[in-house]
Chain A
Amino acid sequence: MDNIVISIGRELGSGGKEIAEMVASRLGFKFYDKKLLEVAASESGLDTTVFQNADERETSGFIGSMFSIHGSFANVLSGSSCMDSDQLFKIQSEAIRTIAEKENCIIVGRCAEYVLRDHPRMASIFITAHHKERIRYIMENEGKSHSEAEETIEKGDKRRRQYHDYYATTRWGEARCYDLCINASHMGLEGTTEFICNYIRQRFLL
């Protein structure tokens, strides 16, 4: 495998996805976010909508976590392979690995840095931003009020952390789990994009 894979984790409202897209177009890499991965994973025969619901299920509140069979209770007892979120994650991971084997690409989210931990040419990046900037970003892009944006961020962070830390053995957003962690507020989307491109060029001698 000579191709390069960049996995990008990001906080909600950090502009991480836009930065990832810009890095992809500048370096000429293929870009995959959640939606495009769903398409790839649907090769398994499952409809893309199944994957959309999968990560919502991780957070069904206290009662939910008390009694939700986590899909896998039955799984464990019977040894059968339920179509639960664990199974879906496995299918999605296979899709990510297949993609990462054949082309230079950027994968956003989906614990890609864990799934591809054995890939010889993988760079893992985590993008954050100042809290204020994130709120402003959400307010502008989603037309939300200040308090709504704050809530969106809080819930979004929680959901991503839970999803990530359940499926990966690393901690979401913890510096030592990534090759590069960067706060996008200092250099802006443009500057951060250029910085990441330079890092990739220098590291892989492009």
Chain B
Amino acid sequence: MSNNTGRKVPTELGTEKVGKLLMQYAIPAIIAQTAASLYNMIDSIFIGHIPGVGADAISGLATTFPFMNLSAAFGAMVGVGGATQLSVRLGQRDYDSAKTILGNLVTLNVIVGVLFAAVSLLFLDEVLFFFGASENTLPFARDFMIVILLGNVVTHLYFGINAALRSSGHPKQAMQATIITVIMNIILAPIFIFVFGWGIKGAALATILAQCITLTWQIRLLSNPNELLHLQPGIYRLRKSIVKSILKIGMSPFFINAAACIVVIIINKGLRSYSDNGDTSIAAYGIANRMQFIFVMVVLGLTQGMQPIVGYNYGAKQFARVKSTLMLTIYWATLVTTIGFVICEFMPEIVAHAFTTDPKLIEHSAWAMRVMSIFMPIIGFQLVTTNFFQSIGKVNKSIFLSLTRQVLLLIPLLVILPMFIGENGVWYSMPISDSIAALLTVIMLVIQFREWKREGIEA
């Protein structure tokens, strides 16, 4: 750890070419962002090709999404809260406090991980029914979730310690851990599923085992006594003040993830009540959503790469650089979502084929992808601009914009539209809320630019 990183980084942000900076900051962020959705995608692709497994298994798997979101919400609460505190203390070279935070982060992860798993296992069937499962799809969802929940502590520790690694001066190792876990999952899943014939349980086991192996490596890394910050006895006893501040900071990532969970539940429930064949519709949504999500995650990674560049240059009043960073990020983001658009509109059958062999489900999910992706090219712009407001300190505008697309517009639409046009109402809600949100975003960005012009800031 260099002593003056706090000063060195900003200078580079103010002088280096914007394009080069964006690449340098965005690539690790994109990898971190897409990794988690990659596991899910890999799992569902392998599961979709288990001989004899049909739409029911895929539908069952789709009802586990909100479960994974909820688990991630609790993980993020502890992980992000702890890592943020950790980086503040390390920034002050306060290693005594930092190591207690690290210890408390580990203990909290274990407690939250065990509690979440215990409660979920106790009410597993009820929760899965609530998330959209049916009598036919429940057994598959249950098989998958039991293994995932038994390994829940490992998952939480893996993500929590990775966040700690990142904020304690080991971003490279954290990225390696992420990549290694994905690769191991890709190797283990087909062995467990096809060679050992463990089916859907094998997919879950591959995910957990991959995380378990990486976790061992992470713990070894963090146990090196030569590191200023390392795992050692006496740091694990919970301190009230640390727990309080971790939970306080962790509240916002918790709610963001929990909101995602609620939206998926509402969609699944809508499909179940309005569709003639709820299971197939839910499975189709699962496939279409996974596909779209990958592109959204890449864009979110891009915007995270943009944030420090925009943030610094805005602070340094280098508005020309602020604007060119924004434009460049919008350009790349639009390119990514347009590729997604082309794939989802013109070759959705090929995509659906990767996830399932069931012809009816292929047809339905191809149709779903077409509907959901109508306005996909503008989602890139929407996501980038939402984050842009955050980077320049207009946090409230950023919150408003991100809530409109995912919550304020989408949830009412999901509830009201199907009352009039049935199942299609659920599907159409998504592109409609995307397009309105994008329109609002354009308006707010134009207002912001005008405001700057009035203030005499010419970018």
Q: Residues on A close to B: CB < 8 A? A: 44-47, 50, 53, 57, 60, 63-84, 86-87, 89-91, 93-94, 114-115, 117, 166-167, 169
Contact = CB atoms under 8 A, between A and B. Distances in A.
Given A63-B399, A68-B252, A47 B315 contact: yes
Contacts of B29: 74, 77-80
B396 interface: yes
B79 A50 contact: no
B10 A67 contact: no
A3 to B, nearest CB: 20
Nearest to B86: A76
A91 B10 CA distance: 10
Nearest to B254: A66
A60 B390 CA distance: 13
Given A46-B312, A79-B175, A90-B6, A65 B252 contact: yes
Given A66-B255, A83-B311, A83-B391, A91 B7 contact: yes
A124 to B, nearest CB: 15
B393 interface: yes
B399 A80 contact: no
A167 B92 CA distance: 9
B395 interface: yes
B426 to A, nearest CB: 25
Nearest to B163: A76
B174 A94 contact: no
B249 interface: yes
Contacts, number: 154
A45 B403 CA distance: 33
A163 to B, nearest CB: 12
A-B complex: 5 closest residue pairs judged by Cβ atoms: A83-B311, A78-B29, A79-B171, A50-B315, A46-B315
**Per DSSP, are chain A's interface residues mostly helix, strand or loop, or mixed?**
helix
Given A80-B29, A169-B97, A66 B251 contact: yes
A64 B395 contact: yes
B187 to A, nearest CB: 25
Given A73-B253, A75-B87, A86-B91, A81 B390 contact: no
B169 to A, nearest CB: 10
Contacts of B255: 66-67
B4 A72 contact: no
Nearest to B29: A78
Nearest to A61: B396
Given A45-B14, A60-B396, A94-B7, A69 B308 contact: no
Contacts of B245: 166
A46 B301 CA distance: 25
A190 B447 CA distance: 51
B305 A93 contact: no
Nearest to B79: A76
A46 B97 CA distance: 29
A138 to B, nearest CB: 28
A82 to B, nearest CB: 5
B395 A60 contact: yes
A94 B7 CA distance: 9
B37 interface: no
B163 to A, nearest CB: 5
A69 B80 CA distance: 10
Contacts of B251: 65-66
B304 A78 contact: yes
B33 interface: yes
A115 B91 CA distance: 10
Given A69-B398, A166-B245, 4 more contacts: A60-B395, A75-B84, A91-B6, A94-B7
A81 B9 contact: yes
Contacts of B315: 46-47, 50, 83
Contact of B33 (A77, A91, A169): A77
Of the candidates B7, B11, B171, the one having the most CB atoms from chain A within 10 angstroms of its own CB is B7
A45 B321 CA distance: 14
B305 A80 contact: yes
A53 B311 CA distance: 13
Contact of B28 (A60, A67, A78, A87): A78
A18 to B, nearest CB: 29
Interface string B34-54: 000000000000000000000
